[in-house]
Structure 1
Amino acid sequence: MKNNWEEIKWIFEPDGTLRDIYVQNVNIEDWKILIDYLNENHILKYGPYHEIKIVSRIEKDYLIQLLTDVTGEMELKTVGIIIDDIIINTHFFTVNEIEFDIEPKEINSENNFEKVLSFMNEISRILNKQLILTGENQINFPLVTVEYSKKIIKVLTKKDAKKLWR
């Protein structure tokens, strides 16, 4: 899919917030599939937020345990997925939702946008789920929607967004 960067670059104009990518209605099996995919296909940064470093693999067993931990005593870990000059982070907040985030300033060209779309499309394919890209914590207002099985890639233009905001 070819996008008109001039119509969509507004989504990534830096405003002091991140852009989130959500996968909803997931379970532990989906998380396991995601972790295996990331380990096999991406360069990763991993660790506690203050000590994140490049690793060859992330610890699937630890992260699954972290997702199901009810004690709150386990050390939180972050995964950074490196795609050229873009880092897509994921955190392990809840079992039923995968959340990634991106610094908007890293998506400064059509080429970088296509890398994000490709990543979203691949995650949609392996999980057989819809992914949405939103403003930070704005899960009810998708700016980009990707669903591999239905061949959906929908990108909201600024003009479309203004119509919806009215």
Structure 2
Amino acid sequence: MTINWEEIKWIFKPDGAYRDIYVENVSIQEWKILVDYLNNNHIIKFGPTGKNKIINKIEKKYVCELLIDEAKELECRTASILIEKIIINTHFFYDKEIEFDIDPIEINSANAFKNIINFMNDISKILGRKVILTGEFPLVEVDFKNEILKALTEKEAEKLWK
């Protein structure tokens, strides 16, 4: 299935909020798979939140320790994945859920949207899980294994808002 940019560009209308991409019910093993995939396939910037000590690979061992650090004593780090002019951020908050965020301002063309869909599809493929892009509610769903690619239309969203 393909998605017509003209029918879904409303999803990326800037409203001051980021759009989130989620993979739910994951394990540390899936985080490891994800980190390997990101390091091997994308331009990465990884480092402490708000500091300048940035490296070009996600430190898998540190991330695994961070995700299970219940006392939250380790310094939080952020990874930014660069795809053309799009920055996709992930913050290592929770071991059972992978969360990325994107600024909708950067998704301003069919090509930019295609890059996001390809990214979501790759994540779905390597993890064998459904990947969802959300705003106030799920907007785009990708499930590689079950060959699902669907997006909420603006009319469907209006019904949900009511």
TM range (shorter): over 0.9
Matched, 1:162 2:154: no
Structure 2 counterpart of 1:82 = 82
Matched, 1:152 2:148: yes
Percent identity of paired positions between Structure 1 and Structure 2: 59
In structure 1, the gaps of 5 or more residues are none
* Deviation for aligned residue 1:54: 5.8
Matched, 1:115 2:111: no
Counterpart amino acid of 2:74?
A: M
CA distance in 2, matches of 1:3, 1:150: 17
* Deviation for aligned residue 1:51: 2.3
- What TM-score, normalized to structure 2? 0.95
In structure 2, the gaps of 5 or more residues are none
Structure 1 counterpart of 2:94 = 94
Counterpart amino acid of 1:145?
A: E
CA distance in 2, matches of 1:126, 1:144: 18
Q: Which runs of 4+ in 1 moved over 6 A?
A: none
Structure 2 counterpart of 1:106 = 106
CA distance in 1, matches of 2:109, 2:23: 24
Root-mean-square deviation (CA), in Å? 1.3
CA distance in 2, matches of 1:126, 1:117: 14
- What TM-score, normalized to structure 1? 0.93
Counterpart amino acid of 2:153?
A: T
In the TM superposition, 1:1-166 aligns within 5 A as: 1-51=1-51, 55-135=55-135, 138=136, 141-166=137-162
Give the paired residue count: 162
